């Protein structure tokens, strides 16, 4: 596992994610819908915005029903969408000030995505999928291949490198997506309902992989509506109508994820 | 991102929709091939006209009666051309540019051989110099001679078409034909020149001038005087010498009031050339339109491709693909479509130009091959840039949510 994962202990205590008074709304005037609003400002109906800090090495599950704003939050955290107002600092950088080019770089270097619907590039082999972020980062072909193979073996798909998405099962496709997300050694792994389309065995496999990544120091933000999945996280946030209504810590930031801790794996 | 990788993705993208890509390429192929082929046809026909005019003899000048300025003065004052005019031209001491002179009378008569009756296009009475000047070569037998002219002998040289009509497979030389009641002995048959216009230059009977005058036209005027300049370069000099001599014999002081007209083949050549140039430009325009339509086909298909692959674009953007990479990928795809289409079009155009089209042998213009290929590739880039730009400027979240 160690050849892919950046195992260094963070030198600075700056949170990986710091958002302040963040709001996201759609539509105008009376038809405005606040997908993210936070608490109302005292005495008015105006949204105050969401505040949130996520520490390096944390494993956060964001829960909420459909329409609670959890996907909106995830898209903003992943720099796929821009907030209506508020500040978002990723690794100390104010993302709001970056142009399109720099945002692409941030997505490439700092964030690894895992989506509910896998989102693999069609007609492309598993190896090429995993090489893709490295190619965009400008890594040389031989180095790219070596690192992509390492990432694929990490998720247990080393011998399926030449398979295309339509030749892989759902669980295997999601493992390819995990390998693709971690191959650039990003600061943060963002997973949007990663097990939503998987059977229970594949769910365990994928969550096991994510637990393992967190155990080696990777920050993970996971969106889910299943308590079973949230059980894997060190901290659980609940969103209702664009507000964080509860914030429960299930395990310390420095320790292993709760499920691995229960198995007796040392930190 | 490395060029090779982009190219591989582009080929993969095209291969994913083979029929669609092939049809789009077909559009470009047809455009390029038609540009090359139609320009080659235009060029071929202009070449053919040039060749046929050259075969008439580029250093011959034709003097005919009538006002050069046309119209304004009365017919009665126009002096006809006579054999005396021709003699004056032939004997003028200062006219170094004039090589030979042949007065020509033209009439028509019905020829009879045995029980075959045929009316040739024209019966020409002239001097032997006519043959060389008008580039008429004898295929079989002989020309008539100056002696035949002086003796007003009843001999004739037949054009290829006339000979074929009267004699079919028989050998005409030495046979007697009856032309308008007068018996003539055939001494030669001319080589076929082939016609480019409405009149067949091979449908002719040529006989000595006095013989034709005696039998048909009388000894008054001649229709035209054919003058051969000493070379193609001296036609202008010959033209001014003819003007000078004839103004003298016709006693006209003002050259603008000349009662004769001089035409040369060179001026005919330029007139015909400008006609065929118009023709070529017209053909080229039609072909260019089809090339444009091919280009619009590329835009259409690339727009469909972008819409279809919006989600893929979203994924790539989420993985950190910069705008330039997405742009490059779709531009490469559209350029690849046009390059392959244009390449096949060039091949098709060149192969097609080996066949003769509506009787014209196409002559490929090398510049048109390069031009058509270059324009097709540029069209691919230009028409591909709109869809590619649209793909590249999609916001990642919108692209990812696209169904």
Complex-level ipTM: 0.87
- Cα–Cα distance measured from residue B399 to residue B256, given in angstroms and rounded to the nearest whole number: 80
Q: Where would I find the H helices in B168-234?
A: 209-212
Which residues of chain A neighbour B322 with C-beta distances below 8 Å? 101, 104-105, 136
Q: What is the pLDDT of residue A12?
A: 53
Average pLDDT in the B305-325 region?
89
Question: How far away is chain B from the Cα of A216, in angstroms, using its nearest Cα?
Answer: 22
Tell me the average pLDDT of chain A. 88
Average pLDDT in the B357-385 region?
87
- Tell me: pLDDT of B330 over 80: yes
* CA-based nearest residue in chain A for residue B320: A108
Q: What is the pLDDT of residue A1?
A: 41
Q: Going by C-beta distance under 8 Å and a sequence separation of 6 or more, which residues neighbour residue A257? A: A59, A211, A214, A215, A232, A233, A234, A251
Angle between helices A170-182 and A126-136 (to 10 degrees): 20
- CA distances B92 to B99, B129, B221, B245, Å, are 11, 17, 20, 8
Q: What is the pLDDT of residue A123?
A: 85
Q: What is the pLDDT of residue A265?
A: 53
Question: How far away is chain A from the Cα of B9, in angstroms, using its nearest Cα?
Answer: 9
Residues 193-232 on A with a CB inside 8 Å of B are none
- pLDDT confidence bin for A255, thresholds 50/70/90: confident
Number of domains observed in the structure of chain A: 1
CB contact at 8 A, A92 and A10: no
Q: What is the pLDDT of residue B262?
A: 84
- Beta bridge pairs of residue B208: B126
Question: How far away is chain A from the Cα of B45, in angstroms, using its nearest Cα?
Answer: 52
Q: What is the pLDDT of residue B56?
A: 65
- Cα–Cα distance measured from residue A173 to residue A202, given in angstroms and rounded to the nearest whole number: 10
- Tell me: pLDDT of B74 over 60: no
- Cα–Cα distance measured from residue B349 to residue B34, given in angstroms and rounded to the nearest whole number: 7
Structural domain of A69: 56-86+99-262
- pLDDT confidence bin for A7, thresholds 50/70/90: low
The per-residue DSSP string of chain A comes to -TTTS--PPPSS---SEEEEEEEEEESSGGG-EEEE--SBPTTSS-B--EEEEE-TT-EEEEE--TTSSHHHHHHHHTTSS--SEEEEEETTEEGGG--HHHHHHHHHHHEEEE-TT--PPTT--HHHHHHHHHHHTT--HHHHHHHHHHHHHHTT-GGGTT--GGGS-HHHHHHHHHHHHHTT--SEEEEESTTTTS-HHHHHHHHHHHHHHHHTT-EEEEEES-HHHHTT-SEEEEEETTEEEEEEE-S-SSS--HHHHHTT---
Q: What is the pLDDT of residue B42?
A: 86
- pLDDT confidence bin for B357, thresholds 50/70/90: confident
Tell me the average pLDDT of chain B. 84
Q: What is the pLDDT of residue B196?
A: 53
Residues B82-107 pLDDT 10s: 888 888 888 877 777 888 888 888 88
- Tell me: pLDDT of A218 over 80: yes
Higher-confidence position of A12 and B271: B271
- pLDDT confidence bin for B108, thresholds 50/70/90: confident
CB contact at 8 A, A86 and A74: no
The per-residue DSSP string of B259-271 comes to SEEEEEHHHHHHH
- Cα–Cα distance measured from residue A221 to residue A213, given in angstroms and rounded to the nearest whole number: 12
Average pLDDT in the A103-109 region?
91
- Tell me: pLDDT of B78 over 70: no
Which residues of chain B neighbour A121 with C-beta distances below 8 Å? 312, 315-316
Lowest-confidence segment of A90-99, A186-195, B67-76, B148-157 by average pLDDT:
B67-76
Q: What is the pLDDT of residue B83?
A: 84
Which of B1, B317, B396 minimises the CB distance to A135? B1
The rounded percent of chain B whose pLDDT value lies above 90 is 13
Answer whether A121 sits within 8 Å of B1, measured CB to CB.
no
Per-residue tokens: B358: 């509506």
Q: What is the CATH number of the domain that holds A160?
A: 3.40.50.300
- Tell me: pLDDT of B71 over 80: no
Answer whether B319 sits within 8 Å of A133, measured CB to CB.
yes
Q: A188-192 and A219-224: which strand pairing?
A: parallel
Lowest-confidence segment of A82-91, A220-229, B112-121, B266-275 by average pLDDT:
B266-275
Residues B119-174 pLDDT 10s: 888 899 998 888 888 778 888 888 888 888 888 889 999 888 888 888 888 888 88
- Tell me: pLDDT of B244 over 90: no
Q: What is the pLDDT of residue A266?
A: 52
Residue A117 lies in a domain: yes
Q: How many CA atoms lie within 13 A of B267 on its CB side?
A: 9
Average pLDDT in the B241-261 region?
82
Per-residue tokens: B131: 């043959």
- Phi/psi of residue A244, nearest 5 degrees: -85, 115
Average pLDDT in the A17-30 region?
89
Answer whether A107 sits within 8 Å of B317, measured CB to CB.
yes
- Tell me: pLDDT of B333 over 60: yes
Q: What is the pLDDT of residue B249?
A: 84
Which of B5, B318, B325 minimises the CB distance to A113? B318
Q: What is the pLDDT of residue A264?
A: 58
Q: What is the pLDDT of residue A262?
A: 72
Lowest-confidence segment of A3-7, B131-135, B329-333 by average pLDDT:
A3-7
- Cα–Cα distance measured from residue B283 to residue B107, given in angstroms and rounded to the nearest whole number: 40
Q: What is the pLDDT of residue B87?
A: 83
Average pLDDT in the B220-232 region?
83
Q: B224-229 and B98-107: which strand pairing?
A: antiparallel
Q: What is the pLDDT of residue A2?
A: 43
* CA-based nearest residue in chain B for residue A71: B397
The per-residue DSSP string of A162-224 comes to T--GGGS-HHHHHHHHHHHHHTT--SEEEEESTTTTS-HHHHHHHHHHHHHHHHTT-EEEEEE
Q: What is the pLDDT of residue A63?
A: 93
Q: Where are the domains of chain B?
A: 3-52+271-401, 79-258
Average pLDDT in the A179-205 region?
91
- CA distances B282 to A25, A78, B38, B42, B285, Å, are 59, 58, 9, 9, 5
Query: Can you say whether the dihedral through the CA atoms of A258, A259, A262, A267 is positive or negative?
Result: negative
Average pLDDT in the B180-198 region?
80
- Tell me: pLDDT of B255 over 90: no
Average pLDDT in the B236-259 region?
82
């Amino acid at each position: 596992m160690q050849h892919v994962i950046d195992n260094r202990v963070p030198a600075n205590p700056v949170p990986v994610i710091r958002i302040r008074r963040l709001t996201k709304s759609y539509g105008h005037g009376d038809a405005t819908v606040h997908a993210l609003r936070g608490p109302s400002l005292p005495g008015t109906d105006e949204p105050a915005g969401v505040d949130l800090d996520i520490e390096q090495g944390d494993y956060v599950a964001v829960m909420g029903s459909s329409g609670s704003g959890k996907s909106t939050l995830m898209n903003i955290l992943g720099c796929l969408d821009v907030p209506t107002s508020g500040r978002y600092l990723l690794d100390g950088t104010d993302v709001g000030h970056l142009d399109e080019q720099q945002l692409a770089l941030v997505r490439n270097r700092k964030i690894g995505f895992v989506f509910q619907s896998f989102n693999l590039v069609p007609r492309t082999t598993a190896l090429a999928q995993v090489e893709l972020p490295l190619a965009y980062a400008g890594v040389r072909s031989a180095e790219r291949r070596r690192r992509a193979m390492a990432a694929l073996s990490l998720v247990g798909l080393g011998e399926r490198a030449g398979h295309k998405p339509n030749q892989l099962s759902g669980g295997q496709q999601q493992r390819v997506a995990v390998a693709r997300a971690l191959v650039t050694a990003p600061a943060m792994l963002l997973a949007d309902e990663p097990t939503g389309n998987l059977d229970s065995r594949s769910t365990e496999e994928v969550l096991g992989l994510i637990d393992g990544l967190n155990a080696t120091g990777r920050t993970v933000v996971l969106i889910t509506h299943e308590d079973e999945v949230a059980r894997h996280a060190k901290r659980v946030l609940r969103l209702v109508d664009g507000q964080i209504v509860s914030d429960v810590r299930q395990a310390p930031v420095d320790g292993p994820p709760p499920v691995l801790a229960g198995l007796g794996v040392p930190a | 991102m490395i060029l090779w990788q982009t190219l591989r993705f582009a080929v993969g993208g095209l291969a994913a929709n083979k029929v669609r890509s092939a049809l789009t390429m077909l559009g470009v192929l047809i455009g390029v091939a038609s540009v090359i082929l139609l320009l080659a046809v235009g060029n071929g026909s202009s070449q053919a006209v040039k060749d046929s005019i050259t075969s008439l003899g580029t250093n011959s000048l034709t003097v005919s009666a009538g006002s050069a300025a046309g119209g304004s003065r009365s017919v009665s004052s126009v002096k006809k051309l006579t054999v005396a005019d021709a003699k004056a031209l032939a004997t003028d001491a200062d006219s170094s540019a004039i090589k030979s002179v042949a007065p020509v009378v033209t009439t028509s008569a019905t020829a009879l051989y045995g029980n075959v009756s045929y009316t040739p296009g024209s019966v020409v009475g002239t001097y032997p110099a006519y043959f060389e000047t008008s580039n008429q070569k004898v295929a079989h037998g002989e020309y008539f001679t100056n002696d035949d002219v002086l003796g007003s002998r009843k001999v004739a040289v037949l054009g290829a078409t006339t000979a074929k009509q009267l004699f079919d497979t028989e050998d005409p030389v030495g046979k007697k034909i009856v032309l308008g009641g007068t018996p003539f002995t055939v001494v030669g048959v001319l080589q076929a020149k082939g016609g480019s216009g409405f009149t067949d230059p091979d449908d002719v009977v040529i006989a000595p001038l006095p013989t034709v005058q005696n039998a048909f036209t009388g000894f008054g005027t001649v229709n035209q005087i054919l003058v051969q300049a000493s070379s193609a370069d001296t036609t202008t000099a010959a033209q001014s010498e003819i003007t000078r001599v004839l103004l003298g014999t016709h006693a006209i002081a003002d050259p603008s009031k000349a009662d004769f007209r001089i035409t040369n083949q060179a001026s005919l050549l330029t007139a015909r050339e400008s006609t065929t140039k118009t023709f070529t430009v017209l053909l080229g325009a039609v072909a260019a339109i089809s090339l444009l339509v091919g280009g619009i086909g590329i835009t259409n298909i690339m727009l469909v491709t972008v819409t279809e692959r919006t989600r893929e674009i979203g994924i790539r953007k989420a993985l950190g693909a910069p705008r330039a990479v997405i742009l490059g990928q779709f531009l490469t795809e559209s350029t690849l479509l046009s390059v392959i289409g244009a390449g096949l079009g060039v091949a098709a155009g060149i192969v097609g130009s080996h066949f003769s089209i509506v009787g014209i042998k196409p002559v490929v213009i090398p510049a048109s091959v390069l031009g058509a290929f270059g324009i097709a590739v540029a069209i691919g880039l230009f028409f591909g840039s709109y869809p590619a730009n649209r793909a590249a400027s999609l916001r990642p979240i919108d692209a990812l949510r696209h169904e």
